[in-house]
A and B are shown apart, each in its own frame.
Chain A
Amino acid sequence: MQQQGNRFFFNVDWITVLIYIALCAIGFTNIYASIYNPDKSVGFDFASSYGKQLIYVITGLILGLSILLFDGRLFNVFAPFIYGVTLVLLVIVLFVGRNVGGNQAWIPIGSFRLQPSEFAKFGTALLLARYVSTFNPKFQDIKSIFIAAAIVLAPLLLIMLQPDTGSALVFLAFMFPLYREGLSGYFLLIFLGMIVLFVADFLVPTYILILILTTIGALFIYANKRKQKLIITTVFVTLIAIGYLFLVKVAYTKVLEPHQRSRIELMLGLKTDNKGAGYNVIQSQIAIGSGQATGRGFLQGTQTKYGYVPEQSTDFIFSTIGEEWGFMGCSVVIGLYIFLLLRLINLAERQRSTFSRVYGYSVACILFFHVFINIGMTIGIIPVIGIPLPLISYGGSSLWSFTILLFIFLKLDSNRMGFI
């Protein structure tokens, strides 16, 4: 029996598990602080958010440990099935979903609500890993890029329909594992260029941008005047970039919802609004900033205690950390995340199997997107995009989905010596 138990937990990376537990504990503590009310503190209340979160953490840990009991090969085998199930759930939620905050994102199951978009992440990660490991494409041809894109875009578009833009955006994280597997770096550059041009399009008049783009193109052509092929590409890219500028303007007014537009404008500083859409971000920044170097102390944050930051236990949980623990606490949390992310990449690289490596990269990059977007949003460097801070924000679906995501990888990693 001893042997048997050792076999299940053999080679598990306990450091990652420790960081996981640490982040969950930080989450629970700060959720408690966020909803703490000095007038109504009557012992521990399981009906409250922090009480539920404790249950989520415990069940999450049990869930994670039970994943370690599975045979790692099952994930490879069942990848298409799991992916299929999450897609079906994403379709179902469009019809039976409970509308919360304008998003049709929740399937009610008893007293709990299930958020399929959270689970779609590991489904997609598994299938992508399966595809790459099976066909070993180098993404130099259109076909393999197309297939990989389809795997990622199917759930992304379904989530957009809810519409939950924030959760959908996270799927862009899959670019990084594909990049690691051979996708041209140009795709990342193009993506980066699109973001830069998108932001620039609001801050600088379009005709000046066109002028700048043309100048850059001309200089590039001049520098490479012998290489005919490059010249043609440059002209092509410049024209597309200019076209993109106009597309952005049209898409911005026609496609984006008014609240999304105002969030972007607030973030870019084109608009100030202390009462409406900007209220969240401003109050969140005030709370975080008022924490100063060492914070006001546990349960001592006035902004937190007196409810100045809306959505504080969920998307804006980082403002509690910022106010009560200060720069010190923020650095510890960001440090833990970065340590986890770098470690996950290192773990992924030590895998013999491509499946495990691709999956590992996917996990790291999804976590990275969540952390970056969520913290960036609370301190006003990214528009308000409602996605949770992994393992810390209040919510069962989110916590469980990250647990599953992470522990599947830990299981795969523990099998790294074997063959999958």
Chain B
Amino acid sequence: MEQLFNRKYIIQGLFLVVAIILLAKLFYIQIVSDAAFVAAESNVLKKKFKYPARGAILDRNMKVIVQNEPVYDLMVIPNEVKSFDTLALANALEISFDEVRKNLKKAKAKSNYQSTPFSKQISVQSYARLQEIMYRFPGFSTQDRTIRHYPDSVAGQLFGYVKEVSQADIDKSEGYYRSGDYIGKSGLERSYEDVLRGEKGVVNTVYDARNTPQGSYANGKYDVNAVSGERLISGIDIDVQKLGEELMLNKVGAVVAIEPATGEIIALVSSPGYDPNILVGKGFGNNYMDFIVGNPYRPSLVRPIQGYYPPGSSFKPIDALIALQEGVVDPNTTFNCPGYYMAGNHKVKCEHVDGNISMRRGIARSCNTYFCHVFQNLITKNGMKNQRQTYQDWRDKVAKFGFGTKLDIDMPFERKGYFYNADHYDKIYGNRWGYTTVISQAIGQGEITATPLQIANAMAIIANRGYYIKPHLIKGMGDKKLVKKEYVTKNYVGVDAKYFEPVIDGMQDAVNSAWGTATLSRIPDIIMCGKTGTVQNPHGKNHSVFIGFAPRDNPKIAIAVIVENAGYGSTYAAPIASYMVEKYLKRAVTGARANQVEWMKGQNLLPPLIDPNKKPKLTKADSLSIKKTDSVKRVKDSLKIKSAVIKQSVSTKPVANKPAILNTKPETK
């Protein structure tokens, strides 16, 4: 009997154990874990977002170049939809009966309880029609938001585009972006996304289990008003930009113009370009395929910051400057030019036979021989044994001019070009290499490639007599006109100001003297200093290049123009530069030159395609990659057109893929 009495404790013990189990689980879900609390909030709380207007962008003359236009999205909360007149809705929206059903299904798949886009960017007419009959469609609502508008229809690559966020964007944003939000995907829209987008507003509403709104949450304590995006002021002169794009019509290439004193970019032309308005709104998908992907000349390549070109003759002034600073030559040093320069047993040809030639004339006439000698002096100044070290010194000094490194422009996807250190040549040649091996770099050819931005920046350095401010597009953010510190900092290149004058003399002569290479591009009343370049291109016609700045004293604009496959620098690049400079400095191109502008706009210099249906593909031999070192012969362009000749033969072996032929002259005029 006593034993049975003890069973009381077993039963009471069981009660206690069970109570402890219940309390333990309660302790976990109520105190340890906050998952239930979060779930409860998301049960009752629904956030409706208010979209801020994106910030506008102004040009340097305070003209609006990027603005907003209101559009309306038709939203739906599928759960609240009652049976409705499908046909009436389809008619109001000007879509088909089936599309209404399809859209509703799509919205349902996204979320049954949240407001989801049903039909985006409906027309103003549709919006007006809908307003009258909205009451017949419970569950539907309109939401106004803004889309971008670019009044001048230019500079597609520069501005970039805005697009609905991808899942990757959402994941990266740590909760800022939600499905259906918009984000700047390229160009300025991307690099200034944080400033332009503003701050989303939110209205918190409490809903009951039947999804009926029960009023604002906590008396609107957590509601936030939308804050419009900040205004950006750019250094772009939209008129110059527009002229540049018109001049580059039907040409492949790039133009970069910089205000030397500030580093502000005045124009940044990538050709072929496109109207940024085609990548706004409903037409995005088709237009993107048709005009961007479908264009064989690849407008998606932002040539000013991504195209790789040998700097060519534009490199010579830099050689001269470093040589002067190093003291290996002085402005009066002469070298004899017999029409070529012998680097070992390797001949670098020159376009002309000038006999004894000085620096000023050497620059004006772009003498290869002169600068090969300068380079030889630089690399061998410490004797033949120390060439590796002196090459590396030289390379580091040139790098200070911005070559081989990103200039940190405020645009995404800038590329840095190729400019090799000594160890690159060690790898290829062991220790058996010297100035003759890399002689082509003296004249801006060979392994060195640069973006048009880097080349224009080098011009700004010369214009500034020794320093540059990192080139940038935006000079002020918001009402306070904030600017990044790096865009006001002077970067000195280590060459004293006094050494610039002899070099600038030569550049002045190139445009303004009888023996110069760009005399036809002289601008009335303005002394422009410059240099032409005719960059040898084994794939087709030479690239036409011009670099320069103006006026000579207190320069206002530095410019680099590259027209691919256009031949001599003096024929196309130099005039284009001179028109843009004149437009910038005088606000108009006048006199006889106005007619020349129209003539230039009409020139079609598009390299022919072998098969017009096929896009030229970039291959390893192309500008985007370098397979092997062949210092003298290799020349790069941003876009490889396999042959200038339309070939009808069945041969698929393109000429360009053959090893370059020795007699190709490394350029220059």
Contacts and interface: CB of A to CB of B under 8 A. Distances in A.
Interface of A: 38, 176, 179-182, 185, 283, 285-293, 302-303, 305-308, 322-323, 326-327, 330-331, 334, 337-338, 341-342, 345, 349, 361, 364-365, 368, 372, 375-376, 379-381
Given A289-B37, A326-B30, A349 B206 contact: no
B40 A289 contact: yes
Contact of B40 (A176, A181, A286, A364): A286
12 contacts: A180-B7, A180-B11, A289-B29, A302-B44, A303-B43, A307-B209, A323-B40, A338-B16, A342-B12, A345-B8, A345-B15, A381-B25
A290 B208 contact: no
B10 to A, nearest CB: 8
Interface string B439-461: 00000000000000000000000
Interface of B: 4-5, 7-8, 10-12, 15-16, 18-19, 21-23, 25-27, 29-31, 33-37, 39-41, 43-44, 206-210, 214
A372 B30 contact: no
A302 to B, nearest CB: 5
Contacts of B44: 302-303, 306, 308
Contacts of A323: 40
A367 B510 CA distance: 106
Contacts of A376: 22
Contacts of A38: 214
A289 B36 contact: yes
Nearest to A342: B12
Contacts of B209: 306-308
B132 to A, nearest CB: 31
Instruction: Among A285, A290, A305, A330, find the residue whose CB has the most chain B CB atoms closer than 10 A.
Output: A290
B40 A179 contact: no
Given A179-B7, A345-B12, A306 B40 contact: no
A355 to B, nearest CB: 16
Contacts of A179: 7, 11
Given A302-B43, A326-B30, A288 B15 contact: no
A284 to B, nearest CB: 10
A306 B206 contact: yes
A331 B209 CA distance: 28
A264 to B, nearest CB: 18
Contacts of A331: 23, 26
Given A302-B44, A326-B30, A345-B11, A285 B210 contact: no
A179 B11 CA distance: 9
Nearest to B19: A338
B208 A307 contact: yes
Given A289-B37, A289-B39, 16 more contacts: A180-B7, A286-B36, A286-B43, A289-B33, A290-B37, A302-B40, A305-B208, A307-B209, A322-B30, A327-B26, A341-B15, A372-B22, A375-B22, A376-B22, A379-B26, A380-B25
A286 B209 CA distance: 13
A378 to B, nearest CB: 10
Instruction: Among B5, B11, B16, find the residue whose CB has the most chain A CB atoms closer than 10 A.
Output: B11
A193 to B, nearest CB: 16
A292 B29 CA distance: 8
A334 B30 CA distance: 15
Instruction: Among A308, A323, A368, find the residue whose CB has the most chain B CB atoms closer than 10 A.
Output: A308
A342 B13 CA distance: 9
A174 B31 CA distance: 36
A342 B15 contact: yes
A292 B33 CA distance: 9
Nearest to B212: A306
Nearest to B214: A306
Contacts of B208: 305-308
B17 to A, nearest CB: 10
Contacts of B23: 330-331, 334
Instruction: Among B29, B30, B206, find the residue whose CB has the most chain A CB atoms closer than 10 A.
Output: B30
Nearest to B210: A307
Given A303-B44, A306-B209, A327-B30, A349 B37 contact: no
B36 A285 contact: yes
A285 B39 CA distance: 10
Nearest to B21: A381
B8 A349 contact: yes
A288 B214 contact: no
Nearest to A291: B30
Contacts of B29: 285, 288-289, 379
B100 to A, nearest CB: 26
A333 to B, nearest CB: 10
B11 A176 contact: yes
A322 to B, nearest CB: 7
A222 to B, nearest CB: 29
Nearest to B18: A372
B5 to A, nearest CB: 7
B30 A308 contact: no
B214 A303 contact: no
B589 to A, nearest CB: 70
* List of 9 A-B pairs having minimum Cβ-Cβ separation, nearest first: A289-B36, A290-B40, A306-B208, A289-B29, A307-B209, A327-B30, A302-B44, A286-B39, A290-B37
Contacts of A293: 30-31
Instruction: Among B8, B27, B206, find the residue whose CB has the most chain A CB atoms closer than 10 A.
Output: B8
B5 A349 contact: yes
B80 to A, nearest CB: 16
Nearest to A375: B22
Contacts of B10: 185
Given A292-B31, A302-B40, A302-B206, A322 B26 contact: yes
B15 A368 contact: yes
B43 A308 contact: yes
A365 to B, nearest CB: 8
Nearest to A376: B22
Given A288-B29, A330-B26, A306 B15 contact: no
A289 B15 contact: no
B8 A289 contact: no
B7 to A, nearest CB: 5
Contacts of B214: 38, 306
Instruction: Among B7, B19, B41, find the residue whose CB has the most chain A CB atoms closer than 10 A.
Output: B19
Contact of B22 (A287, A307, A379): A379
Given A286-B39, A302-B44, A330-B23, A180 B31 contact: no
A322 B41 CA distance: 16
A295 to B, nearest CB: 9
A181 B4 CA distance: 7
A337 B22 CA distance: 12
A338 B210 CA distance: 37
A291 B36 CA distance: 9
Nearest to A326: B30
B278 to A, nearest CB: 44
Nearest to A380: B25
B26 A288 contact: yes
A327 B15 contact: no
Given A287-B40, A290-B39, A326-B30, A306 B207 contact: yes
Contact of A338 (B7, B15, B26, B27): B15
A327 B27 contact: yes
Contacts of A176: 11
A182 B7 CA distance: 9
Contacts of A342: 12, 15-16
Contacts of A330: 23, 26, 30
A341 B36 CA distance: 30
Contacts of A308: 40, 43-44, 208-209
B509 to A, nearest CB: 81
A283 B25 CA distance: 16
B4 to A, nearest CB: 6
Nearest to A330: B26
Contacts of B31: 292-293, 327
B111 to A, nearest CB: 13
A376 B208 CA distance: 26
Contacts of A372: 18, 22
